[in-house]
Amino acid sequence: MKKIVCILICLCMASVAWALSITNGDFEYQTDSSYNVDIAYWYDYGGPDIGVDQGPFFLAATIGSNIFDSKCVYMGKEANTNEDGGNHTYVYQSIGIYDGTPPAVEVELDWGLASGKAGGDMGVTVMILESDGTFVPGEWDGAAHEIYGKEGITEIGRGSVLRYASPGVVMHERFQLDITGATIGNELFLRFNNYEAEGGVVAYVQVDNVTISPAAVLQESPENGATYVATERTSSENDLVFNIVDPDIISVDVLFGPENEPNLSTKPQFKIVEDRSVTPGLNTVTLETELTEDLKWSTEYFWKILAYESDGLGGRTFRSESLLRSFTTIQKGPLLFGVTPNVAGVWPGENAVFSVPFSSKADTFQWYKEGDPDEELMNGADYAGVDSNSLTVLDVQVADEGTYYCVGTETATGLTAETLSPGVLFVKELKAYYPFETSAGGYTPDIIGGKDAQLMGGASVVEGTNPDSIFGGYLSLNNPRGETHTQYASIADALVVNYPDITISCWVKPTILDLDFERHARIFDFGQDAENYFYLTLLHNTNEAYCEMIRDGDGRDTAGAGEIGYGTKWLYVVLTIADGPDEEGDTTTFGKIYINGRYGGRDGLYHPSDITKPLNYIGKAINTTDSPPNFDGLIDELKIYNYAKTAEEIAREYMDVMTSVAFICDMEAYDLADWDYDSNCRIDLADLVEITERWLQNYLVYFD
């Protein structure tokens, strides 16, 4: 008697137009069962003249070593020595002309070692290759017509797997390959080969049931924001429902995964719920809250129930299990990816373009701007492409700043979907400017944004020109070491630095001369408390400028080198924050420090808009845990921009003031310092002379 009856309710996800296909993927077209016959519809390293030791060959189901119930391809006796293959066994065929869809494919195959052979670590590689038309595929004719690595052939996508293969055991593989790099109109080929990781020669690998299907999206890690799920995922129709008919069952394990693994119950990655209390009758597992990974489109999912009864000792013991059940995900209605770019900053008068990089089932579009209420956009002098998947905001002005999104409609059903994330538009401009020329009523004005700064604790603005001036008036903060520090300025507007990207620049003249003083006197500090803030400071013990940012207690920082020279000169200190590529090519938010126009260094930071900022101080710390002193010295020309300036812009700003400076080396781009012996920011004849003098000098120490 069955102890559990499983009821599967349908789960809906996506379908995609499909033009690529495989012919004879199950090798059933083959009629000749001899070992060295060419494989129908496939190009292979084999044929009448090569024999069975190297090239693949067809294997009929009637041959005893065949581990499949049907015909298959036998990848020969000898294995390739690396995952690229090519030196022994490969098989490929044309799968069609690429028309731009889909962005990714899933290639599946069954494989394993022939019965009676020695087990070991074996591998299989699948490739999607693109031909520009110059390569001519062919069978063995005295030479192998290998496709991989040939002129006119480009590798578009690849998947490899290395497993311990037990003789006679069939394994199933699914490879998801990105093919967005293919050229529309070019022919695509599917190629696979075996390999043996240790470079051995014995393989006996067999392959069967090769299929290709559309994968609607690339699956990336959720922290990168690239995993997309069904629009109907929250529906109760997506829940797994099972009926407990045995009253002795007290709990179940629910196993769930995208592959039909023979040992599903022993695979930790397939456990969705463990030791779940149940009662007789219908029980539900909600995918929205209990699923451990996001669902993929066009994927077959498997699930089963393991049931347990009481062991009489307060624990449980296994009683029975359900049948293995499955369902395939499709999309109900349209789906639109996020707007690209996510954030766009343009100069006044320029055009800004937002697009939806991928949409499923939507055949009409309409763009909107968020507001109260949201504005349905119209084509005209302000916008173009409002009824397409690409919107152009024309002649951008400050009034155009805001959040834009697109709604797609599937005309046949009337179902709609909004882009998964909107696009934010802003105008690049100076947002706050404190020239410190005047003060009135205890305030000094922000002449751009109106976010005036209040003078606190005796802080003062010195008006006019005097020997300490660089531009005229300046902010004077008198907080000498050994005395109570009371002087600073406060900006009441919490949004003064509330921008994704930012440039904060100012001129400072610190008067603390004790370089062993390790506390960080702030130039400015914006944030809420010890858990949320960021600041720019001068490190008195290292003669550097430095920034630190704390978000929810997690800290990041950046340092910039530069001889500060306390009490002797004005310094131009600049901090920029924006996204950029790291050493591995991944996008990271970086803070960069510049001192006197020269790049000093970078490190990871957050976006300023990620920090809550009700407090905004000039010359004083928000987090006083370690008693950092207030700034002691002069501050002038504090400016805040809503974008990150370039190294060249910052250098020119410094030289516009310090006209005696002939040039500044762009150290962010300059990577030849090891050869620039005279430090003039270029490799010239003088450097060559130095190199020549050291030519062939021998510093080797040999073992006698």
Q: What is the pLDDT of residues 503-538, one digit of tens each?
A: 999 999 988 655 544 467 889 998 888 888 888 887
- 196 and 243 within one domain: no
Residue 682 lies in a domain: no
Rg (CA), the chain: 34
Residue 32 lies in a domain: no
The Cα angle at residue 204 between residues 203 and 205, in degrees rounded to 5: 90
At 457 the pLDDT is 94
The range of the structural domain enclosing residue 399 comes to 335-426
At 48 the pLDDT is 52
Q: What is the pLDDT of residues 372-417, one digit of tens each?
A: 999 999 999 999 999 999 999 999 999 999 999 999 999 988 988 8
Cα–Cα distance for residue pair 51/36, rounded to 1 Å = 6
- 386 and 289 within one domain: no
What integer best gives the mean pLDDT of the chain? 81
In this structure, the number of other CB atoms found within 10 A of the CB of residue 380 comes to 9
Q: What is the pLDDT of residues 20-66, one digit of tens each?
A: 899 999 999 887 766 667 888 999 876 555 555 567 878 888 888 89
Residue 167 lies in a domain: yes
Residue 621 lies in a domain: yes
Cα–Cα distance for residue pair 237/239, rounded to 1 Å = 6
- 600 and 504 within one domain: yes
Cα–Cα distance for residue pair 386/360, rounded to 1 Å = 18
- 397 and 434 within one domain: no
Q: Give the burial class of 387: count Cβ atoms within 10 A of its Cβ; 0-12 exposed, 13-18 middle, 19 or more buried.
A: middle
In this structure, the number of other CB atoms found within 10 A of the CB of residue 693 comes to 8
- 522 and 485 within one domain: yes
- 371 and 297 within one domain: no
Amino acid at 176: Q
- 413 and 505 within one domain: no
Q: What is the pLDDT of residues 240-283, one digit of tens each?
A: 778 786 778 899 888 877 765 545 555 555 667 888 898 888 88
Cα–Cα distance for residue pair 182/100, rounded to 1 Å = 8
- 413 and 276 within one domain: no
At 614 the pLDDT is 79
* The last residue of a domain, from among 426, 452, 467: 426
Amino acid at 581: P
Residue 147 lies in a domain: yes
**For the chain, how many structural domains are there in total?**
4
- CATH number of the domain enclosing 400: 2.60.40.10
Per-residue pLDDT, averaged over 159-178, amounts to 84
Q: Which of 642, 560, 138, 79 is nearest to 345 (CA)?
A: 642
What's the predicted TM-score (pTM) here?
0.53
In this structure, the number of other CB atoms found within 10 A of the CB of residue 414 comes to 8
Residue 704 lies in a domain: no
- CATH number of the domain enclosing 232: 2.60.40
* The last residue of a domain, from among 657, 676, 694: 657
Residue 703 lies in a domain: no
- CATH number of the domain enclosing 90: 2.60.120.260
- 355 and 245 within one domain: no
Cα–Cα distance for residue pair 523/619, rounded to 1 Å = 5
In this structure, the number of other CB atoms found within 10 A of the CB of residue 339 comes to 25
Residue 698 lies in a domain: no
- 434 and 409 within one domain: no
CA trace torsion 335, 341, 343, 345 (10° rounding): -150
Q: Any residues with CB less than 8 A from the CB of 165 and at least 6 apart, and which?
A: 112, 113, 119, 120, 121, 122, 171, 205
In this structure, the number of other CB atoms found within 10 A of the CB of residue 526 comes to 28
* The last residue of a domain, from among 193, 215, 237: 215
- 650 and 501 within one domain: yes
More confident residue, 208 or 48: 208
- 208 and 244 within one domain: no
Reported as half-sphere exposure (CB side, CA atoms, 13 A), residue 675 has a value of 11
At 488 the pLDDT is 94
Q: What would the 3-class secondary structure string for 357-410 be?
A: CCEECCCEEEEEECCCCCEECCCCCCEECCCCCEEEECCCCHHHCEEEEEEEEE
At 33 the pLDDT is 65
